[in-house]
Amino acid sequence: MNTPQRLRFADLVANRRVGAALTLGFASGLPFNLSQSTLQAWLATLDVSLTTIGWLTWVGMPYLFKFLWAPLLDRFVPPFLGRRRGWILLFQVGIAATVAVLGLQAPNEAIYAVASLALLLAFLSASQDVVIDAYRTDTLRAAERGLGASAVQLGWRLASLLTGAFAMVLSKFIGWRDTYLLMAALAAATMLLTVVAPEPERMVVPPRTLRAAVTEPLRELLGRPGALALLGLVVLYKVGDAAALSLSTAFLIRGVGFNAAEVGAVAKTTSIAAILIGTTVGGVVYARLGLYRSLMIFGGLQAATNLLYSWLALAGRDFAVMITAVGFDNLAGAMGATVFGALTMALCDMRFSAFQFALLSALASLARVAVGPVAAALVQRIGWPPFFVVTFLCGLPGLALLRVLRERVNGLDVEP
């Protein structure tokens, strides 16, 4: 085991592995909105009931349960492009074809066909995410994980903007059919990114059986020294951040008094800019400081910036305070998410990285999924300013556990 040399930022940006993380992050982000918010926008312009649109949000379920079929992607190897790129290419073919067929539908006349295609698209997209996460886990060296995680986030968000806000605007000029066909062509073009992406430097033997693809990664993950504490860190690290963000839009409208247009124009624009900056800064800082110190600094900032919302709740309808609170909170959250992605990669064994990464991601999502109802009840009981103080306190147990696990986390920040 060798401690990785801290590379210069220019060295990290220039290498093919980080470049592949950026381009495959872009490929990962392309399909998401096409079965989610963009599809909802299309349906909302037609004679489709709000109840039907609400039920169609469930087509996103594959993103929550993708760990269930991730072992298949560890166990079996396509006959071309290797275990990771071969699967990515297959899913990209399916994504491009499904988006094109979805664009040819008339939703108000064939809603069941649209729902089925949207569900298929979400399944293919979630499956592609599993393999892309495994690919970057297998490919990036320890010193590259932070910037690689930043690159994936930047690529994903740029693609999400393209198939989200841009696609909605474009539909006004060329219609929904041609918009979806254009997005299908773009999805097909991402196949070239997969073909030219480099293979992992270290080749491993896949699990011998499908049963082994499930049991061996669980045994390997749980058999490590301090395994339960590390899994606790995965669950707790972003709890405070998730609690604060769970009701952020409702807080800005109902708690402070901004209207929806103001929130969309000011808060959302501020958050997007802050997230893009934060993902980049997070990767650069990780390359300089390493995993443990980056996790500690960004985790502390995540918790502390929640207090800015208490300030906003007390200040009332003040645009300067709102921009400050939203901007710094999303900046810190994006930096934390970037280095947390590096932690997730470091916890995975290359033999089972598809399953282990998907499983760890599901654990990390527990707080985001579960905290909403609890947060709402707490706000009703104590009000907004104390609530955000509580979210700050919720971030401290994860930092305390991180401090206890300092040596083990430092041990993850090495080349195997």
Kindly write down the DSSP assignment for every residue of 182-213, as one continuous string.
Answer: HHHHHHHHHHHHHHHSPPPSS--PPPSSHHHH
Total tally of structural domains belonging to the chain: 2
**Do 395 and 239 meet the contact criterion of CB atoms below 8 Å apart?**
yes
Give pLDDT tens digits for 133-151.
Answer: 888 888 887 777 777 777 8
Report pLDDT for 191: 93
Q: Where does 8-81 have alpha helices with state H? A: 9-14, 16-29, 37-44, 50-56, 62-65, 70-75
State the CATH number of the domain containing residue 37: 1.20.1250.20
Query: Is there a domain that residue 203 lies in?
Result: no
Pair (127, 245) in one structural domain: no
Confidence of residue 101 (pLDDT cuts 50, 70, 90): very high
Pair (233, 312) in one structural domain: yes
Q: Where does 200-318 have alpha helices with state H? A: 210-222, 227-236, 239-246, 248-250, 260-262, 268-289, 291-305, 307-315
φ and ψ of 415, to 5 deg: -80, 130
Report pLDDT for 176: 87
Number of H helices, E strands in the chain: 23, 0
Quick one: which of 145, 5, 135, 10 has its CA closest to 81?
A: 135
Average pLDDT over residues 161-184: 86
Query: Is there a domain that residue 205 lies in?
Result: no
Boundary (domain end) residue, out of 165, 196, 227: 196
Boundary (domain end) residue, out of 196, 222, 252: 196
Gap between the Cα atoms of 375 and 302, Å rounded = 17
Give pLDDT tens digits for 204-234.
Answer: 778 888 888 888 888 888 888 888 999 999 8
Average pLDDT over residues 181-205: 88
Domain range enclosing 347: 210-412
Q: Where does 48-110 have alpha helices with state H? A: 50-56, 62-65, 70-75, 82-103
CB-based contacts of 58, cutoff 8 Å, min separation 6: none
Confidence of residue 7 (pLDDT cuts 50, 70, 90): very low
How many alpha carbons fall within 13 Å on the CB side of residue 147? Answer: 25
CB-based contacts of 363, cutoff 8 Å, min separation 6: 231, 234, 235
Gap between the Cα atoms of 84 and 249, Å rounded = 38
Token code pair at residue 383: 């009000």
Quick one: which of 244, 235, 275, 232 has its CA closest to 392?
A: 244
**Do 29 and 160 meet the contact criterion of CB atoms below 8 Å apart?**
yes
Give pLDDT tens digits for 272-323.
Answer: 888 888 888 888 888 788 889 999 999 999 999 999 999 999 998 888 998 9
Mean pLDDT (the chain) is 84
